[in-house]
């Protein structure tokens, strides 16, 4: 399968935007499992190569039916060598995100519940 991405955004909405099924859920928990999402601001800083690596890997991950995740990003540590997850290397000072698949609700269901 080949997936083509136009570098210039089309003037009309793309198929995933029309259906408004392009939903992400971001939550933040402590290592003990306490949800602190409402008390946090999440900042993601990527250089160009990391954007390209992560973007291409996420497209592949989206189409891999046998992989449902979650995928855990591990930090680079001096004694463990370089570890890449989804096309990026995570700097030592970073939090370790986990990416999963299958948020199966359209945005309207979140809005109707008042959870956004």
Q: Which residue has the tokens 């029309």?
A: 18
Q: What integer pLDDT is reported at residue 116 of this predicted model?
A: 47
Instruction: Judge whether 30 and 96 are in contact, CB under 8 Å.
Output: no
Instruction: Judge whether 10 and 16 are in contact, CB under 8 Å.
Output: no
Q: Which residues pair with 98 in a beta bridge?
A: 72
User: Is 0.75 topped by the overall pTM?
Assistant: no
Please confirm whether the linkage preceding 70 is cis (ω < 30° from 0). yes
pLDDT in tens, the chain (116 residues): 777 777 787 788 877 777 777 778 888 999 899 999 999 998 999 999 999 999 988 888 888 877 666 888 888 877 766 778 888 888 888 888 888 876 667 677 767 765 54
- 83 Cβ contact list (under 8 Å, min separation 6): 74, 76, 89, 90
Q: Which residue has the tokens 């030592």?
A: 92
């Amino acid at each position: 399968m080949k997936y083509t991405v136009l570098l210039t955004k089309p003037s009309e909405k793309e198929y995933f935007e029309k259906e408004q099924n392009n939903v992400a859920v971001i939550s933040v928990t402590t290592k003990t499992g306490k949800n602190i999402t409402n008390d946090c601001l999440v900042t993601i800083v990527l250089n160009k190569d990391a954007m390209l690596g992560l973007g291409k890997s996420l497209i592949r991950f989206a189409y891999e039916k046998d992989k449902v995740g979650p995928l855990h990003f591990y930090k680079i540590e001096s004694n463990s060598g370089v570890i890449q997850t989804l096309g990026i290397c995570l700097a030592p000072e970073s939090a370790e995100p986990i990416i999963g698949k299958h948020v199966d609700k359209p945005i309207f269901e979140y809005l109707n519940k008042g959870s956004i």
